Structure 1
Amino acid sequence: MQRAVTARWQALDWLRGLSIIGMLLNLTPGAWEKQYNWMVHAKWEGGTLIDMVAPAFLFCIGAALPISLSQRVKTGQSNAALWRHGLWRAAMLVAVGLFLNAWPASDLAHLRIPGVLQKIGLAFALALAVILLSLRRSASGEAVFRPRLLFAATVFILVSHWALLYFVPVPGFGAPRFDPVGSWPAYVDRNLFTVPHMFIWWPVDGKVVFDPDGLLNAYTSSAGILIGVLAGLAHLSGKVEHPAVAAFAAGAALMAAALALDGICPVIKNIYTSTFVLFSSGFSLVLLGAFSLLIGLPKSGTVLFPLQVYGANPLLAYITSFVLAPLLDYNWGHAGGSFASIRSMGQQALSQVSDPYAASLTFGLIYLVLQFLVLLVCYRRRWFLKL
């Protein structure tokens, strides 16, 4: 029996909202050095809860793509129009990412070129290319996706990235290399972007040697998007009788596969190894299954309404957080005879009533509540920032 597909995929909306909330909570602690372990990215191999956040957002982008493209094809848009719109979105994501890296004081000599939005833009462009090259149209003018080709493309991306790191010698370092200095992602970024234009906050032995959002990371990130696309196609088909069970089973299988392959391909977020993509995508599917179980429960929509609001405007939430960040760190508040930032004053005040780690987390939660009020107004007025 075919299951009816609703206009909104509620579970996906909630997952998208949770992912952007996680990203912003990680960006707004009261004190960077006072964060719980689950809020701190793994230094290299392995992962923490916060490491699952950005991949979940990529998964959501992919899961929504079949629905969006199907609607555009139904309205009669040509393939050329789909290409133009998709590539424009990718280009704008890269441009906005570069702007945020330059904000507030542009220093072109040390401008970080890679970034989260840049990686998303490039990964989206590659995933979209795979989809559109395989897309067909039915006699009635509807989009016909080809899941087997998309699955094959996903496998190819993951296997080729692993094979590059495992078999192909890195000049001056050899193979296999999965470390922050001698791996292909680090080597490519240092030679392509150069060190002055890379992420400076996670040095190795005092030196900048890799970027967590580099070029090859975008390549495997596209596989994360395509896994989301496959989940979106399953949902769109209406043939999955038990969506929650299916999502749990698929997610558990991907996570188990990642752990089983860890010996030959370590799970590493900073260079987006193939096993990291499998594990994080599996984690996203498990969360999607959990949210699917909540649909229809009494007051679930009310309790999870903040996720709905954040999920409806993720780009606006992300951009405003970056734009406002300098205000949080600007030394304009007077404390104890010396000027201090909102962040440090907030951390100091909250530490009077709780331990420093709880205070740091509470500061971030207060920021999210204040931002939610702004986003709520936008939600009520139907103001959505979309590319």
Structure 2
Amino acid sequence: MPSSPPSRNLALDVLRGLTLALMIIVNTPGSWSNLYAPLAHAAWHGFTPTDLVFPTFLFVVGGALRLNMKKLAALDNAAFLRTVARRGALIFLCGFLLYWFPFFTADFTPEPIGTTRIMGVLQRIGICYFFAAVIVRLGGIRGALGFGIAALFGYWWLLWQFGDYTLAGNAVRALDLAVLGAPHMYGGDGIPFDPEGILSTLPAIVNVLAGYLAVAWLGHRGRTMAAVGGLAAAGAACLLLAYGWDTLLPINKKLWTSSYVLCTVGWDLLVLAVLVWAVDIGGLRAGLPFFEAFGKNTLFIYLLSSVGATVLALVRVGGKSLHGWLYEKVFLSWADPYFASLCFAVAYMLACWLVAWALDRRRIYIKL
């Protein structure tokens, strides 16, 4: 645990902190039955604001990778591979342990590892980080662009060649069933299907590379209106391509389709352009420390929020979970179910922020 922060990028920190705040809100509603539509994922095909949260994490991972490449570039190939493999593996392990937590059942017998989900959010981040780092190490900017194009079209071909675009018949599910097995897959959609599956991790690497390229562009052009205009133009082009491609390959988060990648990259480029314009060029500072605190300890606060949510679900009060009891007694007692559910999520996010703020005040920055 370093006691001083690494060199930061303010706009990227704000984007990372904003994304984490939104992720906590959408992951911990008071009731999953009472969600405002923008705070729910698309059921299958389609896109909601919530569907932008996870790919934005991948985007900022790519941006941070670009900022760290000067240090990584000084390593020889063996040391470089050890460094990025270790970091990617530790992120993957954190995600796996998070799904296995609390490791014991109510009668203190060990939770069977044979039914623990293998893939997931942090697992995908770890894998994508590693491969993106190797790609830019070997191929640089041109390699990242070439891989991105090949991956998006190649993934489209794989989906078309080995299945369809339905929940039961897609190639992502078929590969995961064959490699991981149903007990190790997510079952929240009614059948074993992992929205962070093995095959769909391929196009997700492109989200990381897009963040890398965006920050590389800013490094090359500087924080200027011309650079902001370039980001915005690229974002608009990605959105036009995404919604055009949607007629052939539906925008679908759970399949992480190539059109979905372009859609999310497009929005991320536009958001980053706005932040660079407002923060770096315009000098905006009001309210930014809130998101900076989240952005400086992102992985730790994400783990804390997930573990805390699990604890709230396991602890029993008055015959129901502590989560349900708090929602009913503290929020539902004065608000309608939808607003109460949102207020619970915001309150939980603020509780996590207090931890992030305390760490930042003490200049404690936890990283792998």
TM over 0.5: yes
- Equivalent in the alignment of 1:375: 356
Gaps of 5+ in 2: 1-6, 105-110
Correspondent of 1:199 among 186, 192, 211? 186
- Equivalent in the alignment of 1:217: 200
Q: Are residue 154 (structure 1) and residue 148 (structure 2) matched?
A: yes
| CA distance in 1 between partners of 2:283 and 2:332 (Å) | 34
% identity of equivalent residues? 30
Q: Are residue 252 (structure 1) and residue 236 (structure 2) matched?
A: yes
- Equivalent in the alignment of 1:108: 113
Q: Are residue 185 (structure 1) and residue 172 (structure 2) matched?
A: yes
| CA distance in 2 between partners of 1:200 and 1:163 (Å) | 26
Following superposition, the deviation at residue 239 of structure 1 comes to 4.9
| CA distance in 2 between partners of 1:358 and 1:300 (Å) | 31
360 and 78 in structure 1: CA distance in 2 versus 1, 3 angstrom threshold: same
| CA distance in 2 between partners of 1:265 and 1:332 (Å) | 45
356 and 299 in structure 1: CA distance in 2 versus 1, 3 angstrom threshold: farther
| CA distance in 1 between partners of 2:214 and 2:76 (Å) | 25
2:11 corresponds to which letter in structure 1? Answer: A
2:88 corresponds to which letter in structure 1? Answer: A
- Equivalent in the alignment of 2:48: 48
> Are the equivalent residues in 2 in contact too, given 1:330–1:340 (CA < 8 A)?
no
254 and 297 in structure 1: CA distance in 2 versus 1, 3 angstrom threshold: closer
| CA distance in 1 between partners of 2:13 and 2:94 (Å) | 23
Q: Are residue 318 (structure 1) and residue 302 (structure 2) matched?
A: yes
| CA distance in 1 between partners of 2:337 and 2:284 (Å) | 32
Correspondent of 1:343 among 300, 323, 328? 323
> Are the equivalent residues in 1 in contact too, given 2:98–2:307 (CA < 8 A)?
yes
- Equivalent in the alignment of 1:142: none
RMSD, aligned CA:
1.7
385 and 159 in structure 1: CA distance in 2 versus 1, 3 angstrom threshold: same
Following superposition, the deviation at residue 385 of structure 1 comes to 1.8
> Are the equivalent residues in 2 in contact too, given 1:29–1:360 (CA < 8 A)?
yes
Structure 1 range deviating more: 220-229 or 245-254 = 245-254
CA deviations over 1:208-227 (Å, ceiling 9, x no partner): 2x210100121111011111
Q: Are residue 327 (structure 1) and residue 311 (structure 2) matched?
A: yes
Give the secondary-structure state (helix, strand or coil) at the position aligned to 2:246: coil
Correspondent of 2:260 among 276, 280, 283? 276
| CA distance in 2 between partners of 1:169 and 1:68 (Å) | 38
> Are the equivalent residues in 2 in contact too, given 1:234–1:240 (CA < 8 A)?
no
314 and 274 in structure 1: CA distance in 2 versus 1, 3 angstrom threshold: same
- Equivalent in the alignment of 2:125: 120
> Are the equivalent residues in 2 in contact too, given 1:66–1:236 (CA < 8 A)?
no
- Equivalent in the alignment of 1:96: 94
The structure with more helix, counted as a fraction of residues: 2
Structure 1 range deviating more: 276-285 or 350-359 = 350-359
| CA distance in 2 between partners of 1:345 and 1:159 (Å) | 48
Following superposition, the deviation at residue 240 of structure 1 comes to 6.5
- Equivalent in the alignment of 2:19: 19
Structure 1 range deviating more: 63-72 or 89-98 = 63-72
Correspondent of 2:213 among 214, 227, 230? 230
Which runs of at least 4 in structure 1 moved beyond 6 Å after TM superposition? none
1:151 corresponds to which letter in structure 2? Answer: L
- Equivalent in the alignment of 1:265: 249
Following superposition, the deviation at residue 368 of structure 1 comes to 1.3
| CA distance in 2 between partners of 1:51 and 1:256 (Å) | 18
| CA distance in 2 between partners of 1:47 and 1:185 (Å) | 19
Gaps of 5+ in 1: 1-6, 135-145, 171-176
- Equivalent in the alignment of 1:10: 10
Q: When the two structures are superposed, what TM-score results if normalisation uses the length of structure 1? A: 0.87
| CA distance in 2 between partners of 1:124 and 1:72 (Å) | 13
| CA distance in 2 between partners of 1:298 and 1:160 (Å) | 41
- Equivalent in the alignment of 2:367: 386
Following superposition, the deviation at residue 341 of structure 1 comes to 2.5
Following superposition, the deviation at residue 78 of structure 1 comes to 2.1
> Are the equivalent residues in 1 in contact too, given 2:62–2:208 (CA < 8 A)?
yes
| CA distance in 1 between partners of 2:228 and 2:346 (Å) | 29
> Are the equivalent residues in 2 in contact too, given 1:115–1:213 (CA < 8 A)?
yes
Following superposition, the deviation at residue 296 of structure 1 comes to 5.6
| CA distance in 2 between partners of 1:117 and 1:125 (Å) | 12
- Equivalent in the alignment of 1:143: none
| CA distance in 1 between partners of 2:218 and 2:283 (Å) | 24
Q: When the two structures are superposed, what TM-score results if normalisation uses the length of structure 2? A: 0.91
1:339 corresponds to which letter in structure 2? Answer: G
> Are the equivalent residues in 1 in contact too, given 2:11–2:280 (CA < 8 A)?
no
Q: Are residue 294 (structure 1) and residue 302 (structure 2) matched?
A: no
Structure 1 range deviating more: 52-61 or 79-88 = 79-88
| CA distance in 2 between partners of 1:268 and 1:374 (Å) | 34
| CA distance in 2 between partners of 1:197 and 1:275 (Å) | 28
1:31 corresponds to which letter in structure 2? Answer: S
Give the secondary-structure state (helix, strand or coil) at the position aligned to 1:301: coil
352 and 296 in structure 1: CA distance in 2 versus 1, 3 angstrom threshold: same
> Are the equivalent residues in 2 in contact too, given 1:216–1:271 (CA < 8 A)?
no
Give the secondary-structure state (helix, strand or coil) at the position aligned to 2:196: coil
